[in-house]
Protein backbone atom coordinates (compact mmCIF):
# COMPACT_ATOMS: atom_id res chain seq x y z
CA UNK A 1 0.00 0.00 0.00
CA UNK A 2 1.50 3.33 -1.04
CA UNK A 3 0.98 6.56 0.83
CA UNK A 4 0.20 9.78 -1.04
CA UNK A 5 2.33 12.65 0.16
CA UNK A 6 0.94 16.13 -0.56
CA UNK A 7 3.16 18.54 -2.44
CA UNK A 8 4.65 21.09 -0.04
CA UNK A 9 3.54 24.69 -0.46
CA UNK A 10 6.09 26.91 -2.24
CA UNK A 11 8.48 28.72 0.08
CA UNK A 12 9.05 32.47 0.13
CA UNK A 13 12.05 33.45 -2.02
CA UNK A 14 15.26 34.42 -0.23
CA UNK A 15 15.55 38.16 -0.92
CA UNK A 16 17.05 41.20 0.71
CA UNK A 17 15.91 44.84 0.73
CA UNK A 18 19.37 45.66 -0.59
CA UNK A 19 18.28 44.06 -3.89
CA UNK A 20 16.20 47.17 -4.67
CA UNK A 21 18.04 49.83 -2.66
CA UNK A 22 17.42 53.15 -4.40
CA UNK A 23 14.70 51.68 -6.64
CA UNK A 24 11.63 50.76 -4.54
CA UNK A 25 9.69 49.77 -7.69
CA UNK A 26 11.86 46.64 -7.79
CA UNK A 27 10.50 45.45 -4.42
CA UNK A 28 8.39 42.39 -5.34
CA UNK A 29 4.62 42.47 -4.79
CA UNK A 30 2.91 39.82 -2.64
CA UNK A 31 6.16 38.64 -0.99
CA UNK A 32 6.19 38.45 2.82
CA UNK A 33 8.60 40.56 4.89
CA UNK A 34 9.23 40.19 8.64
CA UNK A 35 9.37 44.00 9.10
CA UNK A 36 8.10 47.01 7.21
CA UNK A 37 11.67 48.32 6.87
CA UNK A 38 12.25 46.48 3.56
CA UNK A 39 9.03 47.67 1.94
CA UNK A 40 8.68 50.78 -0.24
CA UNK A 41 7.92 54.04 1.56
CA UNK A 42 4.45 55.59 1.26
CA UNK A 43 2.32 52.45 1.10
CA UNK A 44 -1.34 52.95 1.99
CA UNK A 45 -3.09 50.92 4.71
CA UNK A 46 -6.77 50.51 3.82
CA UNK A 47 -7.93 49.87 7.38
CA UNK A 48 -9.33 52.54 9.69
CA UNK A 49 -6.78 51.75 12.44
CA UNK A 50 -3.02 51.21 12.39
CA UNK A 51 -1.52 48.21 10.62
CA UNK A 52 -1.14 45.38 13.16
CA UNK A 53 2.30 44.27 14.34
CA UNK A 54 3.75 40.85 13.54
CA UNK A 55 2.38 38.33 16.04
CA UNK A 56 -0.81 40.33 16.70
CA UNK A 57 -4.10 38.42 16.86
CA UNK A 58 -6.64 39.81 14.35
CA UNK A 59 -10.06 38.84 13.03
CA UNK A 60 -10.41 38.42 9.26
CA UNK A 61 -13.95 39.41 8.33
CA UNK A 62 -13.52 38.85 4.59
CA UNK A 63 -15.19 35.56 3.63
CA UNK A 64 -15.56 34.76 7.37
CA UNK A 65 -12.00 33.50 7.83
CA UNK A 66 -12.20 34.38 11.53
CA UNK A 67 -9.36 34.72 14.08
CA UNK A 68 -5.78 34.69 12.81
CA UNK A 69 -2.22 35.67 13.65
CA UNK A 70 -0.22 38.22 11.63
CA UNK A 71 2.93 36.53 10.31
CA UNK A 72 4.41 39.05 7.85
CA UNK A 73 3.87 42.20 5.78
CA UNK A 74 3.55 42.48 2.01
CA UNK A 75 2.64 45.13 -0.52
CA UNK A 76 0.72 45.21 -3.79
CA UNK A 77 -0.30 48.08 -6.06
CA UNK A 78 0.69 50.75 -3.54
CA UNK A 79 -1.09 49.16 -0.56
CA UNK A 80 0.34 47.56 2.57
CA UNK A 81 -1.09 44.20 3.57
CA UNK A 82 -0.51 41.48 6.14
CA UNK A 83 0.05 37.77 5.70
CA UNK A 84 -2.03 35.96 8.30
CA UNK A 85 -2.38 32.39 9.46
CA UNK A 86 -6.05 31.77 10.30
CA UNK A 87 -6.84 29.49 13.25
CA UNK A 88 -9.12 27.52 10.95
CA UNK A 89 -8.26 27.72 7.25
CA UNK A 90 -11.36 27.19 5.06
CA UNK A 91 -11.55 23.61 3.82
CA UNK A 92 -11.44 24.65 0.15
CA UNK A 93 -7.97 26.15 0.74
CA UNK A 94 -6.67 23.69 3.33
CA UNK A 95 -7.28 20.88 0.83
CA UNK A 96 -4.55 22.45 -1.33
CA UNK A 97 -2.05 22.83 1.51
CA UNK A 98 -2.68 26.55 1.98
CA UNK A 99 -1.88 27.67 5.54
CA UNK A 100 -1.61 31.47 5.21
CA UNK A 101 -3.30 34.23 3.23
CA UNK A 102 -2.74 37.82 2.08
CA UNK A 103 -5.15 40.39 3.55
CA UNK A 104 -5.56 44.16 3.34
CA UNK A 105 -6.73 46.47 6.11
CA UNK A 106 -10.40 46.64 5.06
CA UNK A 107 -10.59 42.84 5.18
CA UNK A 108 -9.71 42.87 8.89
CA UNK A 109 -12.75 45.02 9.72
CA UNK A 110 -16.51 44.46 9.62
CA UNK A 111 -18.00 45.70 6.35
CA UNK A 112 -19.19 49.29 6.45
CA UNK A 113 -20.28 51.16 3.33
CA UNK A 114 -17.89 53.93 2.41
CA UNK A 115 -18.74 57.62 2.56
CA UNK A 116 -19.67 57.76 -1.13
CA UNK A 117 -21.99 54.75 -1.01
CA UNK A 118 -25.16 56.71 -0.31
CA UNK A 119 -24.50 59.08 -3.22
CA UNK A 120 -24.30 56.10 -5.56
CA UNK A 121 -27.89 55.05 -4.78
CA UNK A 122 -30.14 56.81 -7.31
CA UNK A 123 -33.11 58.78 -6.05
CA UNK A 124 -36.59 57.74 -7.07
CA UNK A 125 -38.02 60.42 -9.29
CA UNK A 126 -41.68 60.85 -10.16
CA UNK A 127 -42.02 61.60 -13.87
CA UNK A 128 -45.25 63.24 -14.87
CA UNK A 129 -46.99 61.79 -17.94
CA UNK A 130 -46.73 63.88 -21.10
CA UNK A 131 -50.45 64.61 -20.98
CA UNK A 132 -49.97 66.39 -17.66
CA UNK A 133 -47.43 68.83 -19.06
CA UNK A 134 -48.94 72.11 -20.23
CA UNK A 135 -48.02 73.42 -23.66
CA UNK A 136 -46.11 71.90 -26.56
CA UNK A 137 -43.35 69.47 -25.66
CA UNK A 138 -40.64 69.25 -28.28
CA UNK A 139 -39.56 65.78 -29.25
CA UNK A 140 -42.75 63.93 -28.29
CA UNK A 141 -43.81 63.29 -31.91
CA UNK A 142 -47.36 64.46 -31.53
CA UNK A 143 -49.78 63.81 -34.40
CA UNK A 144 -49.45 67.36 -35.70
CA UNK A 145 -45.63 67.36 -35.57
CA UNK A 146 -44.13 67.99 -38.98
CA UNK A 147 -40.81 66.40 -39.86
CA UNK A 148 -39.61 67.77 -43.20
CA UNK A 149 -38.32 65.40 -45.87
CA UNK A 150 -35.10 66.96 -46.98
CA UNK A 151 -34.03 66.24 -50.53
CA UNK A 152 -30.92 64.04 -50.62
CA UNK A 153 -27.72 66.00 -50.85
CA UNK A 154 -24.55 65.00 -52.62
CA UNK A 155 -22.38 62.97 -50.21
CA UNK A 156 -25.35 61.68 -48.17
CA UNK A 157 -25.01 58.20 -49.66
CA UNK A 158 -23.73 55.56 -47.30
CA UNK A 159 -20.35 54.29 -48.35
CA UNK A 160 -19.86 50.58 -48.92
CA UNK A 161 -17.59 49.76 -45.99
CA UNK A 162 -17.06 46.25 -47.38
CA UNK A 163 -15.17 47.37 -50.46
CA UNK A 164 -12.23 45.12 -49.66
CA UNK A 165 -14.30 41.92 -49.84
CA UNK A 166 -12.34 40.81 -52.92
CA UNK A 167 -9.05 41.18 -51.01
CA UNK A 168 -10.34 39.10 -48.09
CA UNK A 169 -12.54 36.33 -49.57
CA UNK A 170 -12.42 34.42 -46.27
CA UNK A 171 -14.69 37.11 -44.78
CA UNK A 172 -17.25 37.92 -47.51
CA UNK A 173 -19.89 39.48 -45.24
CA UNK A 174 -17.63 40.75 -42.44
CA UNK A 175 -18.10 44.50 -42.57
CA UNK A 176 -16.97 45.03 -38.96
CA UNK A 177 -13.79 42.98 -39.19
CA UNK A 178 -11.51 45.77 -37.97
Residue 146 falls inside a structural domain? no
| Whole-structure pTM value | 0.54
The pLDDT score that the predictor gives to residue 178 is 45
Residue 100 falls inside a structural domain? yes
- 55 and 70 Cβ atoms separated by less than 8 Å: yes
Total domains present in the chain: 1
Closest CA to 27 of 77, 100, 96, 98: 77
- 71 and 54 Cβ atoms separated by less than 8 Å: yes
The pLDDT score that the predictor gives to residue 66 is 93
Provide mean pLDDT across the span 6-35.
Answer: 68
The pLDDT score that the predictor gives to residue 87 is 95
DSSP one-letter code for 33: B
Residue of higher predicted confidence among 77 and 159: 77
Structural domain of residue 39, as residue ranges?
31-108
Residue of higher predicted confidence among 21 and 176: 21
The residues, any chain, with a CB within 8 Å of residue 65's CB and separated by 6 or more, are 84, 86, 89, 90, 101, 103
Amino acid sequence: MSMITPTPAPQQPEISPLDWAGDPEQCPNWVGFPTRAGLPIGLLWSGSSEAPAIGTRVHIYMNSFGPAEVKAYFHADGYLGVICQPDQMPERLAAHGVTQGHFFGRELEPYQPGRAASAMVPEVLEIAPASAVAGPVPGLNLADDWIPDYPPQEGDELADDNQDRDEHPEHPQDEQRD
